C-alpha cells in the first residue's frame, strides 16, 4: 500500500493547472447510459474514481475507451445490464448515478444501496422520492433499490412529474442529478424544486442538452425538463475541479507560498476565497487563474460554516481546518452538510493541533507550529488536509492509506513536488 513521506517547511511556489472536475465527470459518464451513441469527454481526469465508474459501465455492457491523453468515451449500445452490484457500489458511492439513467432509458434498474460512509449515514431517500414522483415503482429489498416503469416491457416510458428534493441539510447534488437524468427521457414535462445549484449540476445539464435533452433553469433551484424520445451522442469537456483548485490554494496558504492555480473558474470559489481573505490572504485573479500571495504572519482565525453552493463547500472543510490549526487565535468550523465529517480531526491532533469537537462543530485553537508524525487518511478530503499539514509541520509526516487521495487528486505528490514541496510516494 502506498504512503507519502513529507518533510515540512518549504513554501510552495509556482503554477499548477487543475483538471476536469471529479464530481462532474462521474455523473456525466453515467449519463452515457442515456444514449446508444458515443459520449466523449476529452478532459476526464486520471483518477481511480473515474476508473471505477468505467469498470462499472463496462460490466453493465457499455463500450468504454480511455485514451492516454485522458479522453474517455462511453457507448451504451446493444444489451445493457440494468444492474449495479454491491461490489461496484461499495467501492464508490457515486455509482448510484447510474440509477436515474437506467430508469429513464430502460424503464428498469436494480442498484445496490450504498450504505453509510466514514462521514455519516448519507441517505438516498431523495433519489427514491424523485424517481417515484416521475412515475417509477420503487422497492427496496435485499440491499437493492429496484425501480420499474409500469409497462416498460411494451415500451412505456416514465410519465414525468413534479417534485421537491430539499433535505434538512439543503439540496442533494447526486439526487438532483439522478432525477434530472431520468426525466430527460420521460413522456412529459418534469419539474424539480429545491434542486442543487452546484456548478457540477450545471455542467451535467449542459452535457445533457448537447445530447438533445431539453432542460432549463440551470444554476437555479427550479429545473424544468421537457422529456424527449431519445438522446444522441456528444463531446463535452467537463468544468475544472473547484475543490482541487481550492486545495492547492490552501496548500499555498498554509506553507506561506505563492501558488498560481491555472485553468480554474474563480467564480466557483468565491466562498473559500472570501474565507481565506478574512484570514488575511491576498489574491490576484484573471479570467481562468487565481494566485495567492505569500503571507508571513499566521492566518487570522475565521469561523466557517459549510453550506450548499455558493456557500463554503464541505469538500474544503478538512483543508480549512488544517489552515486554521495554525491561526493566530480560535476559530469554529461547522459542517452543516455532513455533521460527522471529522475523521481528520484526530489525525491533526497527532500533529500537535489543538482542536475539539462540539456537535457538528470543531473548535480550533490555533498554535504556532505543527510537528510531523505518522497519520492515517480516512477519506479523500481528509487526506488532502493531512498532506497540507505535513507540508508545514516540523520534521517528517507520513500519510498512510493514500489510495483515498488518488480517488480525487491526479498525481498530487508529483504536482506538489513540482511546486517545491518535499513529498515522496513510498510503498509499505
**Contacts with ligand EPU, residue ranges (CB under 6 A):** 23, 26, 93-94, 122-127, 167, 169, 172-175, 196, 314-315, 337-338, 380-381, 408
Least spacing, CB of residue 117 vs ligand EPU, in Å: 8
34 close to 278: Cβ distance less than 8 angstroms: no
Compare residues 45 and 366 and give the one whose CB is closer to ligand EPU. 45
Q: Which of 137, 234, 232 is closest to 185 using CA atoms?
A: 232
Q: How far is the CB of 318 from ligand EPU (least distance, A)?
A: 9
**117 is an active site residue:** yes
Grid cell of 423 as nine digits: 513529498
The single residue of 117, 197, 207, 264 carrying the catalytic annotation is 117
For ligand EPU, the closer CB: 8 or 171: 171
Q: Between the CA of residue 193 and those of 123, 136, 167, 208, what are the distances in Å?
A: 19, 18, 12, 19
* Interatomic CA distance for residues 324 and 339, integer angstroms: 18
Q: Which residues contact 36 (CB under 8 A, 6 or more apart)?
A: 75, 76, 77, 78
Nearer to ligand EPU, 50 or 393 (CB): 50
SS3 364: strand
**What CA–CA distance (Å, rounded) separates 206 from 213?**
9
Least CB distance to ligand EPU at residue 101 (A)? 15
User: Do residues 253 and 12 touch, judged by C-beta distance below 8 A?
Assistant: no
Of 26 and 186, nearer to ligand EPU (C-beta) is 26
Alpha-carbon distance 190 to 308, whole Å? 23
Residue 383 CB contacts under 8 Å (≥ 6 apart), including other chains? 377, 399, 401, 402, 404, 405
Q: Which is nearer to ligand EPU, 80 or 169 (CB)?
A: 169
How near is the Cβ of 43 to ligand EPU at its closest, in Å?
A: 17
Contact 148, 126 (CB under 8 A): no
What phi and psi values does residue 427 have, to the nearest 5 degrees?
A: -115, 140
Nearer to ligand EPU, 165 or 392 (CB): 165
User: In whole angstroms, what is the distance from residue 125 CA to residue 167 CA?
Assistant: 9
In this complex, which beta carbon is closest to ligand EPU, that of residue 4 or of residue 338? 338
Q: Which three cell numbers stand for residue 208?
A: 445533457
CB of 319 to ligand EPU, least distance (A): 11
In the complex, least distance from residue 70 CB atom to ligand EPU, rounded to whole angstroms:
19
Nearest residue to 201 via CA among 216, 217, 218, 215: 218
Rounded Cα–Cα distance for residues 383 and 375 (Å): 9
Nearest distance from residue 380's CB to ligand EPU, in Å? 4
Q: Buried b / exposed e across 191-229, counting CB within 10 Å, b at 16+? A: bbebbbbbbbbbbbbbbbbebbbebebbeebebebebee
Place of cell 498525481: 411
Residues with catalytic roles? 117
Amino acid at each position: 500500500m502506498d504512503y507519502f513521506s513529507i518533510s515540512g517547511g518549504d513554501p510552495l511556489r509556482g503554477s499548477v493547472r487543475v483538471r476536469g472536475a471529479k464530481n462532474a465527470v462521474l455523473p456525466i459518464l453515467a449519463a452515457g447510459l442515456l444514449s446508444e451513441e458515443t459520449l466523449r469527454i476529452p478532459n476526464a481526469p486520471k483518477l481511480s474514481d473515474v476508473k471505477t465508474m468505467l469498470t462499472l459501465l463496462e460490466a453493465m455492457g457499455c463500450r468504454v475507451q480511455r485514451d492516454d491523453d485522458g479522453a474517455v468515451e462511453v457507448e451504451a449500445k446493444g444489451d445493457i445490464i440494468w444492474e449495479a452490484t454491491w461490489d461496484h457500489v461499495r467501492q464508490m458511492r457515486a455509482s448510484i448515478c447510474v440509477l436515474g439513467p437506467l430508469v429513464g432509458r430502460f424503464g428498469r434498474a436494480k442498484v445496490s444501496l450504498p450504505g453509510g460512509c466514514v462521514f455519516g449515514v448519507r441517505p438516498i431517500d431523495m433519489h427514491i422520492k424523485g424517481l417515484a414522483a416521475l412515475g417509477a415503482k420503487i422497492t427496496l429489498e435485499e440491499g437493492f433499490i429496484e425501480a420499474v416503469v409500469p409497462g416498460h416491457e411494451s415500451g412505456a416510458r416514465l410519465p414525468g412529474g413534479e417534485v421537491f428534493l430539499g433535505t434538512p441539510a439543503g439540496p442533494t447534488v447526486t439526487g438532483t442529478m439522478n432525477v434530472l437524468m431520468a426525466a430527460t427521457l420521460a413522456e412529459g414535462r418534469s419539474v424539480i424544486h429545491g434542486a442543487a445549484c452546484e456548478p457540477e449540476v450545471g455542467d451535467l445539464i449542459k452535457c445533457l442538452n448537447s445530447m438533445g435533452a431539453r432542460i432549463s433553469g440551470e444554476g437555479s433551484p427550479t429545473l424544468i425538463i421537457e422529456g424527449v424520445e431519445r438522446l444522441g451522442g456528444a463531446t463535452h469537456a467537463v468544468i475544472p475541479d473547484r475543490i482541487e483548485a481550492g486545495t492547492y490554494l490552501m496548500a499555498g496558504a498554509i506553507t506561506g507560498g505563492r501558488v498560481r492555480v491555472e485553468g480554474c473558474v474563480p467564480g466557483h470559489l468565491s466562498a473559500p476565497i472570501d474565507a481565506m481573505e478574512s484570514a488575511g490572504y491576498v489574491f490576484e485573479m484573471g479570467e481562468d487563474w487565481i494566485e495567492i500571495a505569500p503571507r508571513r504572519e499566521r492566518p487570522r482565525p475565521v469561523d466557517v460554516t459549510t453550506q450548499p453552493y455558493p456557500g463554503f463547500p464541505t469538500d474544503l472543510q478538512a483543508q480549512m481546518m488544517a489552515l486554521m490549526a495554525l491561526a493566530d487565535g480560535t476559530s469554529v468550523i461547522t459542517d452543516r452538510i455532513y455533521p460527522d465529517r471529522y475523521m481528520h480531526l484526530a489525525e491533526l491532533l497527532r500533529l500537535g493541533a489543538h482542536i475539539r469537537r462540539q456537535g457538528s462543530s470543531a473548535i480550533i485553537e490555533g498554535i504556532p507550529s505543527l510537528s510531523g508524525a505518522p497519520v492515517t487518511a480516512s477519506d479523500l478530503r481528509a487526506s488532502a488536509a493531512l498532506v497540507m499539514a505535513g507540508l508545514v509541520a516540523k520534521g517528517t509526516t507520513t500519510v498512510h492509506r493514500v489510495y483515498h487521495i488518488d480517488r480525487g487528486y491526479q498525481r498530487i505528490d508529483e504536482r506538489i513536488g513540482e511546486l517545491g514541496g518535499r513529498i515522496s510516494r513510498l510503498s509499505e
